Every structure is written in C-alpha cells, then in structure tokens.
Chains A and B, each alone.
Chain A
Amino acid sequence: GQNIDQPTEMTATEGAIVQINCTYQTSGFNGLFWYQQHAGEAPTFLSYNVLDGLEEKGRFSSFLSRSKGYSYLLLKELQMKDSASYLCAVPSASGGSYIPTFGRGTSLIVHP
C-alpha cells in the first residue's frame, strides 16, 4: 500500500521562499506528482518527478530522493495568489494500470 505524509499547514510571507515536504512509502515507485489546489477549485498539475534531483520550473521547483522516499516543492518569491493547498501524489501499480494516491495536502497561507 501507499503511505504519504505532508505537513497540514504552513505560513509564509510574501516575497519569501517556502519548502513543502512530502515523504512516502510505496512498494514500487513510479514517480511523484505535485498539484496545486485553490480553495473551492480543482487541483492543477505542477510537476512530475521520476528521477532523483531538482527540477526547476519558474518560481516553482520540485526535488526527489528515491532512496529516502522524500520530495519537496520549493516556492520562491511568494505571491499572495500562491495561498493554496499543495498535494503530493504517488501512483502505484494495480491490475495493469497506475492508481495515484494523494496526500492530505499542505495548506499554504501567504501573508503580506
């Protein structure tokens, strides 16, 4: 089975940098997704990591360490609009398909 752990809530200041961690336990690793979900809205894709290391995409970067079962999402130059829930998801193989298991999400509050 899958076990995914993320902090429940984080707060940060506008313009700052924040790191949102995700640890996972899985029987077979098939990559890790990060999604952003604003309150009352659907999740939207941020990143997909399958190899170790840091992948940068504008203000957002995602890091993966497969040996440690660990990932983080790094948000730079925080803006108020970054206030949202950040979901970590790990797909697991099931009957010829892959079923994503989502963490509970980290609610990020950005204040002025």
Chain B
Amino acid sequence: DAGVTQSPTHLIKTRGQHVTLRCSPISGHKSVSWYQQVLGQGPQFIFQYYEKEERGRGNFPDRFSARQFPNYSSELNVNALLLGDSALYLCASTQVGGGLQTQYFGPGTRLLVL
C-alpha cells in the first residue's frame, strides 16, 4: 500500500509569490494535517482537516490556507511568500480526525523562498 504522498518534493519561489502544495493520504485515511518544519526545529502544526472540514488551526497568518477534497487529498496554499516561509512542509494522515492517533507523515515538500 502506498504511504502518504506529497508533491512537489522541492520548490523554489521568490518573495511575494504564491505556492500550492499537495498531499494524498494513505488509502482509507480521512484526516490530513499540515506542518511546517524549519531546520533544527520540530514540526509546527498549521491545519487539520477531517471529512473536508477544518478541525484545527495553528498559529499561522491568514496567508496560509488549506482545503480537503472529496477523495481526502488536500492542498496547502501560501500567499505573499516571505523568506521566513522557507521550510519543510509535512503532511500527515490519520484514519479519523481527532489528533490522538498516530500521524503517518509524507516525505514533505522542501520550499525555498528567495
């Protein structure tokens, strides 16, 4: 069975641009969470979606938005990119929402903002 997949694997953008990151959860998993991981830090929670509804939001500005599709895949959008948005963006899936289940992480998208 395929694990969590994310695309693209790497991305280079310039300040002010917009980016869309994509995630497909493990088959049968209905919840997706997004995290930002800066080098040397642990993952920071951005969003959690379950059954296409937002179930949790971390302390990130409104430039960050996400959505979940009927097939449970998800997109993370970041507008007006800043240099500080350079990070590894991780997607994790669980069977149901809630957050007390083991998170299965994808390989991440490494975003570099110049």
Taking beta carbons and an 8 Å cutoff, which residues of A are in contact with B? Answer: 4, 30-31, 33, 35, 41-45, 48, 87, 89, 91, 94-105
**A48-B102 contact given A41-B107, A99-B58, CB 8 Å threshold:** yes
Q: Tell me which of A87, A99, A103 contacts B99 (CB under 8 A).
A: A99
Most interface-central of A42, A91, A97 (chain B CB within 10 A): A42
Q: How many residues of B contact A (CB 8 A)?
A: 25
A99–B43 Cα gap in the complex (Å)?
12
Establish whether residues A99 and B42, one from each chain, have CB atoms under 8 Å apart when the complex forms. no
Task: Note all chain A residues with C-beta closer than 8 A to B4.
Answer: 42
A31–B55 Cα gap in the complex (Å)?
19
Establish whether residues B42 and A102, one from each chain, have CB atoms under 8 Å apart when the complex forms. yes
A31–B101 Cα gap in the complex (Å)?
10
Cβ-based interface call for B25 (8 A): no
A91 shortest CB reach to chain B, Å = 5
Establish whether residues A95 and B55, one from each chain, have CB atoms under 8 Å apart when the complex forms. yes
Establish whether residues B44 and A102, one from each chain, have CB atoms under 8 Å apart when the complex forms. yes
Using CB atoms, name the residue of chain B closest to A47: B102
